[in-house]
Amino acid sequence: MQEDAQTARLRAAFDDDRDAETFLLRLQRYGPELQESLEAVYGAQAASVFERLTDALLLGYHERPADLRRLDEARLLRPDWLQQESMLGYVAYTDRFAGTLKDVPEHLGYLKELGVTYLHLMPLLKPRDGENDGGYAVQDYRAVRPDLGTIQDLATLAQKLRGQGMSLCLDLVLNHVAQEHEWAKRAQAGEERYRKYFLMFPDRQMPDAYERTLPEVFPDFAPGNFTWDETSEQWVWTTFNRYQWDLNWANPDVLLEFVEILVYLANRGVEIFRLDAIAFIWKRLGTDCQNQPEVHVITRALRAALRIVAPAVAFKAEAIVAPADLIHYLGRGVHHGKLSDLAYHNSLMVQLWSSLASRDVRLFETALLNFPPKPVSATWGMYVRCHDDIGWAISDTDAAQTGLSGPGHRHFLSDFYSGEHPGSFARGLVFQYNPRTGDRRISGSGASLAGLEKALDEHNAYEAHLAVQRLLMMHAVVLGFGGVPLLYMGDELALLNDPDFGDTPEHAADNRWVHRPRMNWALAEQRGNPSVPAGQMYSGLRALVQARQHTPQLHASVESQVFRSPNAQVLFLARQHPIGVMLGLYNFSEHPQPFPTAAITPHFRQARDAISGTFPDLSGDTLTLPPYARLWLLSSELPSPENSA
């Protein structure tokens, strides 16, 4: 069959026939998805954009190193690599974890011992000087923060991580750039091409029209969504901070720029991109400018482009939105399974802390029962804590179905975790109080929110023990839910709040830095000491990770199923895997809880707990769960002869 002119042109760009076939087969597979996505967003411009993209992808393919091409082939043979029960993520700031990129390899043995297979280094691409939203105000996507190293250091680290079976995850900020970025500087200078990269207005007419339906992300220190720029004499859209200029994704040149950036970083070994602020990238008058349909079409285009050059790469959507909106980031309808490979299950994190405070899992159950199912090929990113504050994303509908007031419960949680509620064990800080809505988010490390800081201050050994048990129980839920568990740096050692976070001037106004302490390597040396909380936490968590690695029921293609628990203090989950069911029991109370064995025995009559290796006695009417107990129950019955033949 005679090739068309475009195929012949592309084939002529290769010296090796095998390389040409590989590129053309991938283009044949993903090209139609890319074209359809471009047509849906850019209409008549789509054909020329596709041609320009194809040339950029061809160049990126030629530049892809041989070891990464081999990784591409390996991932194509194992497309469920992110869903394996062996996956474990670790999230850290480079400087706070190790110092520089060159220093990180010194600690790979520590990560390997813990079972880490995925290292997310928090924003490290070159940000603006001074205040930069924790690194999310990027000045140059092709350079690293100078105090951390160089782009070559990043590539070298990625290679060393691959040698240890670990994947590098990096943040890619899609919604905005720093006002010092070259694109913004050229827009300020009046270059029309670059002014079209942003949303700039000569007066307040359009900004005021948009503001009528826009929420404020940081009402305390960045009210409003537009900033007057003296240099250009324009109002610039700035959703997050005055120095972060929102990009105009309706301009296809912006998409082309980001495809080239993605390929550039992928060719330096980045395997997972956390798509930061992705929910905000498309603007539509009369809406809150979040979760617009074009967001998903653009994500599909970006994914299709990367599949052609670097199919080993995965996308993680940073979309902290309502469940009904969140599921779209993994793909629904025509986008099913064609968008991000991974998304944060923020709701599960919120419900963990909610049930811990209330000692009641009924709202947790309702929230999970109302959660839409994910595509089989996609995966949840699960976590107890992250680098950010906790916003109480409690649905009013879920609350009402549970007999609660949504606003009332959110108020209770803010009081509880700021330590204001009587009997609270938590030591958290209120973040971004909004008097108009009553919203009060919470900052604090996992250990301080779970009561360890208060217990140690009061020299209460039993409360310190309970705090560690709370943490281990919550991590057991995350590790046993079936996504990619993500550990925030230091949580494995129960690190407390940083009391000195305000000593750094650029951090003083942002109390989220209270839960971003520097890694305490001296404390890490105590991880084998069972008499200190760090040792208790580390050994307990490592045991959970090792149990997970040997429990195939935790492959993430299977969804966790929630049962209405016969005890409101005990979360009851199931995973219906082809090799057998796994039941998860989690006591959210500091008191022993009875659990009727009649809820367990329909699934199996004899059980083994995968965490402890023990065999709970199911012969009586009840199973007594100790305070903050966590069990992963598997059948311990021998197969019948007819089934074992």
Task: Collapse the DSSP code of 581 into the 3-class scheme (helix H, G, I; strand E, B; otherwise coil) and give the result.
Answer: strand
What is the DSSP-derived secondary structure letter of residue 629?
-
What is the DSSP-derived secondary structure letter of residue 107?
G
The amino acid present at 159, given as its one-letter code, is: Q
In order, the DSSP letters of 360-400 are: --HHHHHHHHTSPPPPTT-EEEE-S--SS-B-----HHHHH
Tokens of 181: 């970025």
Burial class (CB within 10 angstroms; exposed 0-12, middle 13-18, buried 19+) of 561 = middle
Number of H helices, E strands in the chain: 23, 24
Angle of CA points 74, 75, 81, to nearest 5°:
120
Active site residues: 276, 318
Tokens of 489: 């740096």
Contacts of 428 (CB under 8 A, 6+ apart): 417, 418, 419, 442, 443, 444, 448, 449
Contacts of 164 (CB under 8 A, 6+ apart): 108, 111, 112
Task: Collapse the DSSP code of 86 into the 3-class scheme (helix H, G, I; strand E, B; otherwise coil) and give the result.
Answer: coil
**CA–CA dist 159, 268 (Å, integer):** 9
Tell me which residue of 178, 177, 198 sits closest to 187, measured CA to CA: 198
Tokens of 257: 């720029």
Tokens of 265: 């970083």
